[in-house]
Structure 1
Amino acid sequence: MNNLLGSIQKKVFLYDGSKGVMLQRKGLGGHEASESWNVSHPEEVKDLYKEYQQAGSDMIQTNTFPGNRVTLEKHGLGDKTYELIFEGVKLAKEIAGENTYVAASLGPTGTLMEPSGDLSFDDAYSIFQEPLKAIEDAGADFVNFETFIDLNELRAAILAAKETTNLPIIASATFSSNSRTIFGNSAEVCAIVCQSLGAVIVGANCSGGPDSLIEPIKKMYSVTSVPLCVKANAGLPELVNGEIIYQQKPEQFSSYTKEFVENGVRLIGGCCGTSPEFIRELKKALAEADTPELNLKSVPTIASAFNHLVLSPDKECSVKKLSQDAVTLLVNGNFSNLMRECRSEPFDYLLLDFGTIEATFDIRDFASQFGLLIKKPVMIKSESEEIVYKFLRYYPGKAGVVWSNNSKLSLPQLKHYGALLVTETLVPMADSDSEYIGDRA
């Protein structure tokens, strides 16, 4: 693992391709969970891993997507979550040997998060803990969270991995044609938030063909301080004679490789509809492409769930300061005035001054509601350590925290949640963003 992280700045590593579609070609039924084959058809799964390795993959992704109790319960397999995930990783490790890495694939629960749905942040966190323990116990080199459409659920997964395992984290989201997830999270915000929480590689996967991921990758590269990964589908699926078909050819798929590499991608593979032949074509394309030096951005940033702000001494940013009295109205659920002001007033970010407000309100609910309703990035100030830590945990973005010399706040705890530290004059502390990003690398 250390060899990959040490070399990925200068070398592009080759991922593998689809598991579900390929296993269907081997006989997996549409009603079956692909993870079930890790126990019922282990040789077929191992053969698929081997096919990708022989095609040139430096990293094998396990047959464990989406791999959580919620999705497996739909197949009556919820109580076998640990076993199925463990075996999926174990089979990959048997094939990998010493020269191939194993990344365990985990996807979303398929359930809407609060306040849009019924799944709480803490419940999502707990759901991810179970497969994460199996992944680490089985010896995976990485965990790859992928195909997420809600950044807050991805945050819950990353925190679960950080607090449950010692696995390096790859975090990947799926974007629509506007370079935003279905829930409105921009590609830049996804990169900023995931890397601030400690993901060593961030990126994009699934969506449409590789052409659909060029723009999200470019946007991520404009703000990222870690290498990127990309795994596109073999074009958009089409229904032909009752069967889902991916029409894109391997040569067309691999033709975008050079542009991805020029925009920070250092781990590349395929998603839905791709086969070992696609990986062979990617390997040819990589052999012909130059690998320019990564131009990683280590700049102070804050982000809401929807928009980001780069704080630069060359750019003057306007702030709307909310006093303790104004914050009290928000704590009591009165967001309407602030929402109108955010739409009508020309300011760049908000400063919430909790002052001496005590942590007697539901901070989790407040941070979640605030993150959903207010599109502007935010900084916070509070005399309550509990308010700061809980806000950072449940806020679906990357907040700034006002720091003073007599502060009782814990630097490691602020680092854990990826916060940007600023002085009392709202100036980013020297090197604070680079210092508090990517600590797991």
Structure 2
Amino acid sequence: MDDHIPLPLLLDGATVTNLFNMGMPMNTFPEEWILGNPKVLQDLQKAYVQAGSMAVTAPTFGANASVIAKHGKDYNVKELNCALVGLTRVAVGKDVLVAGNMSATGLIPEPFGDTPYSNILNVYRQQAQALHEAGVDFIICETLTTMSDARAAVIAAKETGLPVMVTMALGDSGETPHGLPFMPFVITMEALGADAVGINCFTDIELACELIETAAKYTNIPIVAQPAAGLPGFTVGPEKFAEHCERLLKAGAVIIGGCCGSTPEHIKQLSKIIGKTYSKTEPRDIIAVCSADEVFCLNDDDFMPSEEIICRYGMEEDILELEKQMVSAALVRIEQPEDAQILANFAYKTHLPIMIKSDNPEALSECLLLYQGRALVDRNCEIDEHQLESIARKYGALIY
């Protein structure tokens, strides 16, 4: 985490659920309503600062081109984000950090949907650049439910040079509503260069503590926790909320705040314990890669990739056949950029990690962009060493 962002860090609480209680109609485009009612937002943000928040999130949750269009609006993304960040900066002053907020696009990439992945990445790039130009101190990509959105959001946010936090919405099953487990999310986000990773919008504190304790053994970056305080059928008061958060801090979280239903009073109670120090689990020296739903820990002593599989239509049977063999990874040769989508269409069907070999920098870049997880890259690719490292680093791959 950047030096100007202190740890532990106390974030703010909910925005939209409080605005509903302060007069915002249901089924509205919150960002638009805020522009017409700026004082309501700013009063809430000032209350968070008074409660002890060290960082306040600008209300740009749905200010991306995809969500704007789904609401039938035609706002300019840059102008909308700059206006909302500007309102926040005026409310909190210069001594409190302002976070730019990016969340889900609602777009589903190929092969499960009809949106090219580059389009999703560009939606995030447009908003991330707007937030950067608006002057936010860092970007938090939150309430994400798919690996595809999470990867695109972090890649785009990192391109701005700003610190980036990323959280996924945790359900009671231990996964997001779209089935994304926490550990593949953690490993992929850290590999992409996220500065902090975590969970938000959850109610099961016991489960959250278990997940945080596990993640602390694998990651070297700060862990974020933002529990909910009010959801349908669930409400927790400020003092109990602070008790829950203390458990999360003891489990290993170092950046903490509130999600749906939390208020300035919840944050005020939380501020009373944020200064305490808790022992941190030292991460193990683990080499791990993952698909979107499975983690693979590697062992140098017995790592044995498969024979090369040429990426082509019909390769599905070749990949599935490997699971009957004693191999550590599926080694796939990529010849041209067009091969990348073919691999993306089939890679999710195997329970083996994917190892990519290519002598074409453009093809390798496209393949790593589309792979939804953390892939391996064969170090014997005939690509300049520095260029190979640069490509792998950008997309979070492991050269092996």
Scaled by the length of structure 1, the TM-score of the pair is: 0.83
Residue 255 of structure 1 is matched in structure 2 by 243
Helix, strand or coil at the partner of 1:3:
coil
Counterparts of residues 383-394 of structure 1 (less than 5 Å):
383-394=359-370
Instruction: Specify which of 329, 332, 340 is matched with residue 364 of structure 1.
Output: 340
Residues 28-73 of structure 1 deviation map (CA, whole Å, 9 limit, x = unaligned): 1112111113321111111111011111101101111122122222
Q: Distance in 2 between matches of 1:248 and 1:413?
A: 46
2:258 corresponds, among 270, 285, 291, to 270
Which residue identity does 1:414 align to in structure 2? A
Counterpart residue identity of residue 256, structure 1: H
Quick check: 12-21 or 373-382, which moved more? 373-382
Matches of 2:206 and 2:63, distance apart in 1: 28
Superposed displacement of residue 387, structure 1: 2.8
* Separation of aligned partners in 1, 2:80 and 2:379: 46
C-alpha separation in 1, matches of 2:124 and 2:86: 19
Paired amino acid for 1:190: F
Partner residue in 2 for 1:308 = 295
Q: Partner of 1:430 in structure 2? A: none
Answer whether contact 1:254 1:281 (CA < 8 A) is retained: yes
| Paired residues of 2:201 and 2:260 also in contact (CA < 8 A) | yes
Q: Is 1:224–1:298's contact at 8 Å kept on the other side of the alignment?
A: no
AA at the equivalent of 2:398: L
Q: Partner residue of 2:12? A: 16
Q: Which residue type is aligned with residue 286 of structure 2?
A: V
Q: Deviations over 1:110-139 (max 9, x none)?
A: 232221122221111111122222211111
Given candidates 109, 115, 123, the residue that maps to 2:119 is 123
| 1:196 maps onto 2:191 in alignment | yes
The answer (yes or no) to whether the contact 2:49–2:56 under 8 Å persists in 1 is yes
* Residue 401 of structure 1 pairs with residue 382 of structure 2: no
Match of 2:43 in 1: 47
Residue aligning to 1:350:
329
Judge conservation of contact 2:231–2:261 (CA < 8 Å) in 1.
no
Q: Partner letter of residue 363 of structure 2?
A: I
Shift of 1:223: 1.2
Match of 2:354 in 1: 378
Matched, 1:292 2:279: yes
* Preserved CA contact (<8 Å) 2:359 2:382: no
Q: Which amino acid aligns with 1:27?
A: G
Aligned residues: CA RMSD = 2.4
Q: Of residues 100, 107, 110 in structure 2, which corresponds to 1:104?
A: 100
Alpha-carbon distance between aligned partners in 2 of 1:118 and 1:370, rounded to the nearest angstrom: 16
Letter aligned with residue 317 of structure 2? S
Q: Structure 1 residues 332 and 416, CA, compared in 2 at 3 Å: closer, same or farther?
A: same
SS in 2 for 1:78: coil
The percent of aligned pairs where both chains have the same amino acid is: 27
How far is the alpha carbon of 1:235 from its aligned partner?
Answer: 5.0
Corresponding residue number in structure 2 for 1:229: 224
Letter of the structure 2 residue corresponding to residue 221 of structure 1: A
Q: CA deviation at 1:365?
A: 1.2
Report if the CA contact (8 A) 1:14-1:267 is conserved. Answer: yes
Within 2, Cα distance between the matches of 1:73 and 1:236?
Answer: 27
- In 2, distance between residues paired with 1:346 and 1:233? 45
Task: Name the aligned partner's letter for residue 378 of structure 2.
Answer: V
2:85 is the counterpart of 1:89: yes
Would you say the 8 A contact 2:141–2:153 is kept in 1? Answer: yes
Letter in 1 for 2:194: A
Instruction: Label 1:338 to 1:266 Cα distance change in 2 as closer, same or farther (>3 A).
Output: same
Distance 2:376 2:290 in 1: 9
State the distance in 2 between where 1:335 and 1:353 align: 11
Rounded Cα–Cα distance in structure 1 between residues aligned with 2:393 and 2:315: 31
Query: What letter matches 1:290 in structure 2?
Result: T
Q: Confirm whether residue 180 of structure 1 aligns to residue 175 of structure 2.
A: yes
Q: Distance in 1 between matches of 2:180 and 2:313?
A: 26
Task: State the TM-score, normalized to the length of structure 2.
Answer: 0.91
- State how far apart, in whole Å, the 1-side matches of 2:53 and 2:31 are: 21
CA contact (8 A) 2:42 2:88 kept: yes
Contact map agreement 2:341 2:367 (CA 8 A) in 1? no
- 1:415 CA displacement: 1.6
How many Å apart are 1:199 and its aligned residue?
0.6
Between the aligned partners of 1:106 and 1:159, the Cα distance in structure 2 is 12
Shift of 1:297: 4.7
1:219 aligns to what?
Answer: 214
Q: Deviation of residue 294 (structure 1)?
A: 5.4
CA distance in 2, matches of 1:4, 1:262: 24
- Aligned positions, number: 398
Provide structure 2 residue ranges, at least 5 long, that are not aligned to the other structure: none
Deviation at 1:318, TM superposition (A): 5.0
List alignment gaps of at least 5 residues for structure 1: 239-245, 423-441
Q: Whole-Å Cα distance in 2 between the matches of residues 392 and 231 of structure 1?
A: 30
Aligned to 1:321: 306
Per-residue deviation, 1:222: 2.4
CA contact (8 A) 2:356 2:378 kept: yes
Q: What does the per-residue CA deviation read over 1:363-418, in whole Å, with 9 as the maximum and x for residues that have no partner? A: 33123213432232222223333332221111111112122497424122222222
The one-letter amino acid paired with 1:350 is: A
**Structure-2 separation of matches of 1:69 and 1:232:** 28
* Structure 2 residue 75 is matched with structure 1 residue 79: yes
